[in-house]
Structure 1
Amino acid sequence: MPDYARRRSRLLRLANRLSLVAEYTGRAVAWLALLLVAVVCYDVAMRYVFHSGSIALQELAWHLYALLFLLGAAYTLKYDGHVRVDIVYQRLVPHTRAWIDLLGALLFLLPLCVLIVWTSVPFAYQAFVYGEGSPDVGGLPYRYVLKSAIPLGFALLALEGVAQAARALAALSERRG
């Protein structure tokens, strides 16, 4: 097996292993969408039918939405679900698309993820130390759990960004072979 083929094979194995994290996390987090729908429907019924609202239910809905968004971002990246200018991208040759994917991951996605993880860890830690909860009477306690999803979500996104970069490198090495 030529050297470029071995390197390509290793890159693809690495990418596939890293993507397993996004796959399993995304599948688990997807169930939060059903829970979110149930919570919102219950809250709406309680408010408009029984005239009994709940701050805790409203907060639970946005907590579930935030968790779904933060922890599902890597899964969305894995399946190319994030917004991009597809009109141009899809018309490009695979080699050029691989370069765009590689440079996009290395110059934009990974630095942004590192910055957000770097700045959000102290933010989440401080919320944990103070036992931060909702400032509203009847709101949910343990807001630090939600805040800890910020660095976790962006760390997962960074892992999938590394997997995307590895796939792009493998595609570029394929052209040389």
Structure 2
Amino acid sequence: MERIESFLRTINRAAGAAAGWLCLLLVLATVGDVFMRYLFHSGSVAVQELEWHLFALVFLFGAGYCYDSDSHVRVDIFYSKLNDRRKALVNLAGDIFFLIPFCDLVITKSVPFVLRSWEILEGSPDPGGLPLRFLIKAAIPLGFTFLYLSALRSTLSNIILLKKTSGAGDD
């Protein structure tokens, strides 16, 4: 079980690294767009769409990594006061009852949407926009697969922790 957890963590770290590099590309595209608009009074719909696409990829690929590294936003009024065993129980319940079903829903509902986009080789409806919109739509189920894998890793990690502390009692 620990080997599976380690493998899933490796996948999420790779997705997080990709999100990091995409951030750099996003910054470069945004700076280039600003320079073009304000210095040369020339804009590009394609560059603006590229910014949105890169932002979507950063979010979709980075969400699983953020969850995996426990760097996501958490409202921890009560959680911060819990011991490790109770935190593991809360995390396990959240993964099983909320995050995994939500990821499953998004993945299963987005696949037909993505397939239709690929069938028609969907592009931007805007003149001068990016022609390969179907590619960015494919990132939706992929990104949620990364988040799903992160939730599975978290579930395994919490089960391992609960097994190790099963005789320790609940302080």
TM-score range for the pair, normalised by the shorter chain length: over 0.9
Match of 2:92 among 99, 102, 117: 102
1:88 is displaced (CA, Å) by: 2.3
TM-score (norm 1): 0.91
User: Are 1:121 and 2:111 an aligned pair?
Assistant: yes
RMSD: 1.0
Aligned to 1:60: 50
**Residue type of the alignment partner of 1:131:** L
Aligned to 1:36: 26
Q: Which runs of 5+ in 2 are unaligned?
A: none
Q: Structure 2 matches for 1:8-87, cutoff 5 A? A: 11-87=1-77
User: Are 1:133 and 2:123 an aligned pair?
Assistant: yes
1:57-113 per-residue CA deviation (whole Å, 9 max, x = no partner) reads 000001000011001111111111221113421211111100011000000000000
**Residue type of the alignment partner of 1:33:** C
Match of 1:154 among 144, 152, 169: 144
Q: Which runs of 5+ in 1 are unaligned?
A: 1-10
**Residue type of the alignment partner of 1:109:** L
What is the number of residues matched between the two proteins?
A: 167
Aligned to 1:8: none
TM-score (norm 2): 0.94
